Amino acid sequence: MGSSDLSMILPRVLIVSRRTVRKNKFVDFVGEYHLDLIVSYGAVPVIVPRVTGVHMLLESFEPIHGVLLCEGEDIDPSLYDAELSGFAPEELEEIRALHASDTAIDKEKDTIELRLAKLCLERNIPYLGICRGSQVLNVACGGTLYQDIEKEMSKNCSLGQRVVHMNYENYDGHRHLVKVVEDTPLHQWFRDSLEENKMEIMVNSYHHQGVKKLAQRFVPMAFASDGLIEGFYDPDAYNPQEGKFIMGLQFHPERMRNQDSDNFDYPGCKSAYQEFVKAVIAYEKKLSCSASIPKSVKLDQEIEKKRKVIVRSFSIARNMYSSGGGKVSGQESELQVGAEFLEANTALSLQQENRLKQMGATVRNASTYIERLKMNEERERVARNLIGKMSVGQLSDLISFYHMMGQICSEALEKRLHDLVLHAKMHFAATA
């Protein structure tokens, strides 16, 4: 089996890229460790580019066997906190200045990832959220976030409880303590690394936001010393062997990997990806097995049935042609069968064509007539569907564009009419 054949049968994991600017141009990227681990354990990462409008094209990425969400900017606060956590304008400016690379909200990425998260929750597709991805999962289920951990949590923490959750000077090397909750998947993965009577590990993190109110369906798996939830999962949707996996980790197990090595700080770090991909593989198999298997058909009966349907379609078309009537209500679907038959790239013998002409088969004309009748209605439906999926910003731009075009058309029409009137006056004067 060639590599191309292998790629067709491996399950697919969607990962949304993060946008940045390089050499004055936008560049999309995904962390290499995420991709490497997904491939290592037997799945194919499919990168969903952060491109304007791609949230309307997610069906094109089917089949989806798993979703891994990771890097990205802060989630738009309006999606979970209408009151903006009570920050004064100067406090918000201070947060933006301190975390400039993360506070530039990307609404397109928010839309793409929230739709994918909700799709996973609806279909029970395996989902692993790392850092921002865990926050997306919580928000998708109705949870909320701290917009800035230091400003919001420090009020309730003693000096000894405060935790540094990000270190700009030591991106990969930074670690802080978390306490693992017993009898959770995280406990199973790190059990052999936990000291006796202690449920603590040192983890890497890089974030200034985090889970504030955990959505009701989730159970915490780990806490930082300041009380911040560092991991959670849905116990009703966790069984990797059966294709179930819905989980969020605020810390980065993939960055607890030794440079140029397959060794990690703890053996359990790999388990997040191993168990996730195990669930992805099981989900793909379950999906394949549940696909409907076509039953054997009796060809003679099927062909005869199709023949009768097509003949009836031609008969309706002939009557419509003979009577000159344009009313097709209630008969559209039957006419369409014949139209599709004649409009298909199927070679007909001369005898067949003559026989169809004798029957008065004008289904081609009927099909065109139907399309004309439905054209305005279809255009309106497509326009409403497309516009309904646009963001507020896109709608505002569209309204501004058409307002501007309306003004231009009005000015052009007024000038054209003025020129016509002037030309008519000159012509009248010349002939008087």
Active site residue 150: no
CB 176 within 8 A of CB 210: no
CA-closest candidate to residue 282, choices 432, 65, 107, 97: 65
Residue with tokens 């306490």: 179
Structure tokens at 17: 């890229």
Structure tokens at 208: 């200034």
| Beta bridge partners of residue 28, listed in sequence order | 19
Tell me how many degrees the CA angle 338-344-349 measures, rounded to the nearest 5.
85
| Beta bridge partners of residue 127, listed in sequence order | 67, 246
CB 187 within 8 A of CB 205: no
Structure tokens at 117: 């998260």
Residues 168, 169, 170, 176: is their CA dihedral positive or negative? negative
Active site residue 187: no
Query: What is the length of the chain?
Result: 432
Element (H, E) at 335: helix 332-343
**Which entry of 150, 230, 254, 284 is annotated as an active-site residue?**
254
**Which entry of 207, 252, 275, 284 is annotated as an active-site residue?**
252
Buried b (16+ CB within 10 A) or exposed e, 314-344: bebbbebeeeeeeebeebeebbbbbbebbee
| Beta bridge partners of residue 107, listed in sequence order | none
Structure tokens at 30: 């995904």
Q: How many CA atoms lie within 13 A of 156 on its CB side?
A: 7
What is the rounded distance in angstroms from the CA atom of residue 246 to the CA atom of residue 129?
Answer: 8
Q: How many CA atoms lie within 13 A of 301 on its CB side?
A: 3
Active site residue 252: yes
Instruction: Report how far apart, in Å, the C-alpha atoms of 9 and of each of 5, 66, 288, 384 are.
Output: 7, 14, 11, 38
Q: Which residues lie closer than 8 Å to 59 by C-beta, 6 or more apart?
A: none
Residues annotated as catalytic are: 131, 252, 254
